[in-house]
Structure 1
Amino acid sequence: MEKWEVLVTNLDADRFPLDRMKELCKLRWGIEKSFKTLKDDDCGIQFHSKKDEFVKMELYARYGFPGYMIEHDGQQLADSAGRLGATNNEMEMTAFLESLKRLEQLGLTQQHLLFVLKSQYVIKSVSDTNDGPAWIKSWKKRDWKTANGKPVANQELWQDIDRELAKFDSSKLKFAWLRSTFSDAGSDFVDSLLMKRMAE
């Protein structure tokens, strides 16, 4: 059975013969993989703007400025903050931590609470799931080390979260995962809040 390899291009065939095209495709493969990650995993395809500065703004909003929204007594309480250069995990953790602090200020530490998060990392770290007990329990037993003996990433931030969570009735906390590619009113509201903060 014959195998075919099809390369489609608008480049001049005399200047870029087949062998050269194959070489160029191999060189470009890393860029294509990076774009796939940006597009699929990081939802980069969903940019609202075509202008460079506004695309950068959206990137910063996604990767540098965490946000949260609390719905309580018919009210929506929301905020965002952050720093440029933080990882996505750091921002998800920071948003969770800030929401815990706000809930404490509202006197809701002993109430039934549902946290809807986009981060499986945060959920599995702080709550028992079908995959096993909360990772934070094991980290604390091992003096904030992972199973392979390495220091837990973002240790100080996790310790802050742990201290804040200790103020809550853990039996009344529920967690649900919202896929990052899924849209809901709360998620869309927080995204718009982040964009507003970036524009300030």
Structure 2
Amino acid sequence: MPAARRKQSVRLAGELPARAPGEVLVWTDGACQGNPGPGGWAAVISWEDGVVEERSGGLALTTNNIMEMTAALEGLRAVPSPSRVCVVTDSRYLHDGMTSWLAGWKRRGWRTAAGDPVKNRELWLALEAAAAEHERVRWHWVRGHVGHPLNERADELAVAAIGR
């Protein structure tokens, strides 16, 4: 594979992502009433031309982490591949899982550093596969509920989708 087409994941820090040329921003959020309980997920896709697309859904019995992961998975699946994508999340679990923990889990046979089985393995594998379909996926963490319009919209959609 030529270097220009190499797939990679990049970890970013900071509050708001700067859109790289040709990049699609996918703002994600998950919500749950109880944990476990009914939950919802949302992905707000911001295309480079300014168009914004919204997707959401829910489950009757789930966890907040599963909804956060599902939001990212559905967002990645909604973007034609291969594309340059920045997944924006307020979930440290999702962000750190995709940028830091995944490689170690695989090395340890899907065990945590403490030796326990990794929770949500099927979703981690699905996220890894969906990201691999794209030219590049960046994972960007933002603090939630601080007033960024697309993060707030993803939260509104996820809450509205609870149990749907």
The question of whether the paired residues in 1 share the 8 Å contact of 2:41 and 2:67 is answered with yes
Greater helix percent: which structure?
1
Q: How does 1:1-200 map to 2 (within 5 A)?
A: 60=33, 64-72=39-47, 73-103=49-79, 106-107=80-81, 109-111=82-84, 113-127=85-99, 134-169=100-135, 172-197=136-161
Greater strand percent: which structure?
2
TM-superposed CA distance for 1:198, in Å, is 5.3
Call closer, same or farther: CA 1:187–1:148 in 2, change over 3 Å: same
Q: Distance in 1 between matches of 2:163 and 2:64?
A: 20
Structure 1 unmatched runs, 5+? 1-57, 128-133
The question of whether the paired residues in 1 share the 8 Å contact of 2:41 and 2:158 is answered with yes
Q: Distance in 2 between matches of 1:183 and 1:190?
A: 12
What secondary structure does 1:116 align onto? strand
TM-superposed CA distance for 1:59, in Å, is 5.7
Give CA-to-partner distance per residue, 1:87-130, whole Å, 9 cap, x none: 11111111011111111xx23x332x222111111111112xxx
Give CA-to-partner distance per residue, 1:62-110, whole Å, 9 cap, x none: 961010101012211111112133111111111011111111xx23x33
TM-superposed CA distance for 1:149, in Å, is 1.9
Which structure: larger Rg?
1
TM-score normalized by the length of structure 2: 0.69
Q: Distance in 2 between matches of 1:199 and 1:158?
A: 22
Q: Distance in 1 between matches of 2:92 and 2:140?
A: 9
Aligned to 1:15: none
Call closer, same or farther: CA 1:196–1:135 in 2, change over 3 Å: closer
TM-score normalized by the length of structure 1: 0.57
Structure 2 unmatched runs, 5+? 1-30
What secondary structure does 2:88 align onto? strand
What secondary structure does 1:66 align onto? strand
Percentage of identical aligned residues:
30
Give CA-to-partner distance per residue, 1:131-183, whole Å, 9 cap, x none: xxx210111122211122211011111111122122223xx332322212312
Q: Distance in 1 between matches of 2:120 and 2:70?
A: 11
The question of whether the paired residues in 1 share the 8 Å contact of 2:88 and 2:142 is answered with yes
Moved over 6 A (4+): none
Call closer, same or farther: CA 1:142–1:118 in 2, change over 3 Å: same
